[in-house]
């Protein structure tokens, strides 16, 4: 009987661990708190300047190299999904400030 209880506790702990974590995916339209917009669709991203480029897609993260002619050209921008509605990005070194992004509210045309 004690081994059944142990198995049940281990199974419950595993279920609780998998329930905590990331939102569904980083794909979608994102608006920064300072008025910038970006859109991620798989490996394609429309960066705040409006230019569409490709980057490294992971379901909960994305990174790309800022293209030539853009501010910070050559820097790596790393974006990580923190919740269904919040992502954080950093351009350049690890000491660089974080930018906060929220899912854009849908607009009616």
pLDDT digits (tens, 9 = 90+) for 21-80: 445 899 999 999 899 999 999 999 999 999 999 999 999 999 999 999 999 999 999 999
pLDDT top residue among 93 and 9: 93
pLDDT (mean) for 84-104: 96
C-alpha distance across the termini of the chain, in Å? 64
The CA distance from 93 to 75, in Å, is 8
| For residue 99, pLDDT beyond 90 | yes
pLDDT top residue among 2 and 79: 79
Q: How much is the pTM?
A: 0.74
Contact call for residues 56 and 65 (beta carbons, < 8 A): no
Provide the pLDDT confidence category of residue 2 given band limits of 50, 70 and 90: low
On the 0-12 / 13-18 / 19+ scale of CB atoms within 10 A, 52 is exposed
Query: What pLDDT does residue 4 have?
Result: 57
pLDDT (mean) for 82-92: 96
| For residue 106, pLDDT beyond 80 | no
**DSSP secondary structure letters along 82-94:** EETTEEEEEESST
The CA distance from 11 to 86, in Å, is 30
């Amino acid at each position: 009987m004690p081994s059944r209880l142990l198995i049940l506790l281990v199974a419950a702990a595993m279920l609780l661990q998998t329930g905590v974590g990331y939102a569904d995916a980083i794909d979608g339209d994102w608006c920064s708190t300072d008025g910038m917009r970006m859109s991620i669709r798989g490996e394609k991203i429309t960066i705040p300047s409006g230019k569409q480029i490709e980057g490294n897609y992971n379901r909960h993260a994305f990174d790309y190299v800022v293209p030539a002619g853009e501010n910070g050209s050559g820097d790596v921008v790393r974006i990580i999904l923190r919740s269904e509605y919040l992502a954080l990005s950093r351009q350049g070194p690890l000491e660089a400030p974080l930018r906060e992004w929220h899912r854009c509210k849908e607009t009616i045309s």
